Amino acid sequence: MSQILRKDVPKEKTWDLTPIFVSISAWEQSFSIVERKLDDLLAGRDTLPISSSRELLNSLNRFDDLKEKLNRTTSYAMYKFSEDESDAENQEMMGRSLSLAAKGGQVTTNFTNELLNLKKADIEKWEKEVKELNKFKRFLNRLNDIRDHTLSPGMENTLATLSETLRVPEGVFHSVTSSDIKFEPVKDKNGREFPVSLHMYMTQIETSPDTLLRRNAFQSLTNGLKKYQHTLAKSLSSEVNKNISLAKLRGYESAKDMLLQYSSADKFYAADGISSEFLEDILDTFRFELSPHMQRYARLRKRQLGLDKLLFSDVKAPLDPEFDPPISYEEAGQIITDAVGVLGPEYQNEMSRVFSERWVYRGDNVGRRMIAFGGGVHGVHGYSFYPWGGNLFDMLLLGHELGHTLHYSLSMKNQQYINNTQSHLFVEAPSTLVEQLIVNYLKNNRDDPRLNRWLNMYLMMSYHHNCVTHVLEAELLRRLYNLAENKQPLSTSIISETKGSILSEFWGDTVEIDEGAKLTWMRQPHYYMGLYPFTYSVGISASTIMASRIQEEGSNVGEQWTKVLKQGGNMGGLDLYRMAGIDMSNTNNLKKAIARVGTIVDELEDSFKLTANE
């Protein structure tokens, strides 16, 4: 890790947070105002009355404004904390921010409880009386969708009070993986010693061309994880059983149904209401139809690397390790901005602001957040966090995060705050589309066969991440929920053997599934995020289809996509896709995306054959 301190990071490598708050003191002032308003509502000194159409409109406006101010206040603290998590002032701000957010969650629960006491017919009548209520239509419609699964106000308040306790399994996972587990350092082929951590392994070592380093690090990872396997098995089992209990309490047929249709009490408007049967169709489509293409790619990797056997630690090794051309941040920004021009001038202008107005924190300093992200602040604009390394890989991953950033930025400009929680089913499409557009732009504007091959290998990495890693995570969740709902205790051995079976089924005899592979369920926080992992595969499939349509049909298709992004959370995921001209309500377009993966493998096989003949 870099030893540069936050104070030594050049200004141009930091983001400009002054559009949120000009100073810490301005943040403090906002914090006090928001906290006082929340406390007044929780103590009954203030109310959000809803006994008439005008009262409802006024209370919704006040609630929306309060939530927006809360978002601005907590986002600023989170961004400061992301810059340097070791800074005491940042830690204090973040802790206070989390407490403030918890109060905001309690106010949301109380308010939605009151709204659910209204009759659906009354709401519909008032919407006709007061047209301004239409701006909250998505929020009110989602309330109606969950009406039959909402508990009594007293029960909902109890669950809201217990929200921190209900997140203990996830908290245990993060505490163990970020603080408790220690991994032994390892040596590479030249005898140099490397430290090992989960983050370093998954972001650097896993894709290293050094086979000895990869395998040594994987073994170190396995040895460290094994010591905590029973603890993390208990936390995962608790998470699964918690959701099963909540699903029964809310009257759902299964935990999968609840997680797909309800999500959680404070994010019910992010769920897309798809059926568990459709989820299973999605998982089966990827498991059975993508598997042959990935097995072919595994065999190609084994041949190119000259390995007698392909271990699980080898499945992301680079096929052309000597090709890693550097690129400056400024040049990358220009390429990204040019590449998204097919989405129309409004989108491209917004992307140019990213680089001219410093929307990105790219410093690599002590204490910085370890995971990149793209998001934004309602009423301000988007922001992204990406420690810049300086190569093509960084440019494409930055493009991914900026796809999220611009999605949030455009939707926040055009939607009410409480309407704007992004659809889980849609949220990974805008980010992966930017990746696809950068790849297409470079292929169209660079006459370099080796670069073209590298871009294909990057796409395969992206599909591996989104359509293999995450789909198989979702498959493990499906099986664990099925086992637990059939009264099967989820012991450590059951979880690990189930994971091993899933990997063996997918990779066949092309990859050796060892003990470490079976323990990969211990490495990811996604198992504590409902069924979210499967949505990556839907998003990248849609972006694959959209990128192809833009190439074939022109910028009109791209500009329509930008109009879709402006809808934000105002529409469900399937409706957003329909507005973009893509039907994701069945598996047809998933199969087209999988066929595209097969074509890329064909091209890579031919490319390496040509190289060998030369």
For residues 415-421, give the mean pLDDT. Answer: 89
Q: How confident is the model at residue 266 (pLDDT cuts 50, 70, 90)?
A: low
In-domain check, residue 389: yes
127, 236, 465, 519, 597 from 505: Cα distances, Å:
53, 23, 18, 16, 19
Return the pLDDT at 1: 43
Q: How confident is the model at residue 613 (pLDDT cuts 50, 70, 90)?
A: low
Are 17 and 103 within one domain? Answer: yes
C-alpha span between 594 and 460 (Å, rounded): 11
For helices 168-175 and 229-250, the axis angle rounded to 10 degrees is 160
Return the pLDDT at 90: 94
Helix (H) or strand (E) holding 474: helix 470-485
Q: Are strands 360-361 and 373-376 parallel, antiparallel or unpaired?
A: unpaired
For the record, the structure tokens of 260 come out as 């797909």
Q: Is the pLDDT of residue 559 over 50?
A: yes
Are 124 and 140 within one domain? Answer: yes
CB atoms within 10 A of CB 92: 12
Cα–Cα nearest to 315, from 601, 610, 525, 513? 513
Question: 207-230, pLDDT tens digit by residue?
Answer: 889 999 999 999 999 999 999 999
SS (H, E, C) 49-118: CCCCHHHHHHHHHHHHHHHHHHHHHHHHHHHHHHHCCCCHHHHHHHHHHHHHHHHHHHHHHHHHHHHHCC
In-domain check, residue 80: yes
C-alpha span between 613 and 556 (Å, rounded): 43
C-alpha span between 70 and 64 (Å, rounded): 10
Return the pLDDT at 349: 98
- Looking at the DSSP bridge assignments, the partners of residue 373 are 385
Q: What own/partner pairs with CB < 8 Å and gap ≥ 24 does 548-556 have?
A: 548/596, 549/581, 550/342, 550/343, 550/437, 551/440, 554/342, 555/341, 555/342, 555/343, 555/344
* 3 state DSSP class of 376: strand
Q: Is the pLDDT of residue 263 over 80?
A: no
**Overall domain count for the chain:** 3
C-alpha span between 398 and 599 (Å, rounded): 26
For the record, the structure tokens of 331 come out as 């040049």
Are 342 and 227 within one domain? Answer: no
Domain CATH code at residue 16? 1.20.140.70
For the record, the structure tokens of 103 come out as 């109060």
Q: Is the pLDDT of residue 268 over 70?
A: no
Q: How confident is the model at residue 270 (pLDDT cuts 50, 70, 90)?
A: low
C-alpha span between 316 and 329 (Å, rounded): 25
Are 414 and 541 within one domain? Answer: yes
- Spatial CB neighbours of 40, under 8 Å, sequence gap ≥ 6: 46
Q: What is the DSSP letter of 1?
A: -
Are 539 and 509 within one domain? Answer: no
In-domain check, residue 370: yes
CB atoms within 10 A of CB 518: 23
Return the pLDDT at 265: 53
C-alpha span between 260 and 262 (Å, rounded): 6
In-domain check, residue 477: no
- Spatial CB neighbours of 493, under 8 Å, sequence gap ≥ 6: none
307 and 512 Cβ atoms separated by less than 8 Å: no
Are 150 and 68 within one domain? Answer: yes
Are 360 and 218 within one domain? Answer: no
Q: What is the DSSP letter of 466?
A: I
Give the position of tokens 């040596």. 187
Cα four-point dihedral sign 529, 531, 535, 536:
positive
Q: Is the pLDDT of residue 468 over 50?
A: yes
Cα four-point dihedral sign 528, 529, 535, 536:
negative
Domain edge (last residue) among 493, 510, 526:
526
In-domain check, residue 474: no
Return the pLDDT at 143: 85
For the record, the structure tokens of 530 come out as 């409902």
In-domain check, residue 183: yes
Averaging pLDDT over each range in 313-327, 346-360, 385-399, which range is the top one?
346-360
Return the pLDDT at 366: 86
Question: 480-503, pLDDT tens digit by residue?
Answer: 999 999 999 999 999 999 999 999
Domain CATH code at residue 573? 1.10.1370.40
Question: 159-168, pLDDT tens digit by residue?
Answer: 888 887 898 9
Question: 111-153, pLDDT tens digit by residue?
Answer: 988 998 899 999 999 999 999 999 999 899 888 888 888 888 8
C-alpha span between 452 and 456 (Å, rounded): 6
SS (H, E, C) 278-339: HHHHHHHHHHHHHHHHHHHHHHHHHHHHCCCCCEHHHCCCCCCCCCCCECCHHHHHHHHHHH
Return the pLDDT at 150: 85
Return the pLDDT at 612: 58
In-domain check, residue 323: no
Higher pLDDT, 143 or 504: 504
Are 134 and 196 within one domain? Answer: no
For residues 334-352, give the mean pLDDT. Answer: 98
Buried b or exposed e, range 143-176, using 16+ CB within 10 angstroms:
bebbeebbbeeeebeebbeeeeebeebbebbeeb
Least confident of 74-78, 102-106, 347-351, 436-440: 102-106
Cα–Cα nearest to 528, from 151, 235, 94, 245? 235
340 and 434 Cβ atoms separated by less than 8 Å: yes
In-domain check, residue 234: yes
Residue-range definition of the domain harbouring residue 88: 6-166
Are 499 and 418 within one domain? Answer: no
Give the position of tokens 């995450």. 470
For residues 419-447, give the mean pLDDT. Answer: 94
39, 188, 212, 266, 452 from 216: Cα distances, Å:
54, 8, 6, 43, 32
Q: What is the pTM of this model?
A: 0.92
Report the chain's mean pLDDT, rounded to a whole number.
Answer: 93
Are 592 and 540 within one domain? Answer: yes
- Spatial CB neighbours of 502, under 8 Å, sequence gap ≥ 6: 472, 475, 476, 479
CB atoms within 10 A of CB 336: 24
C-alpha span between 268 and 112 (Å, rounded): 11
Are 519 and 539 within one domain? Answer: no
DSSP state letters, 562-609: HHHHTTGGGS-HHHHHHHTT---SSSHHHHHHHHHHHHHHHHHHHHHH
Are 155 and 185 within one domain? Answer: no
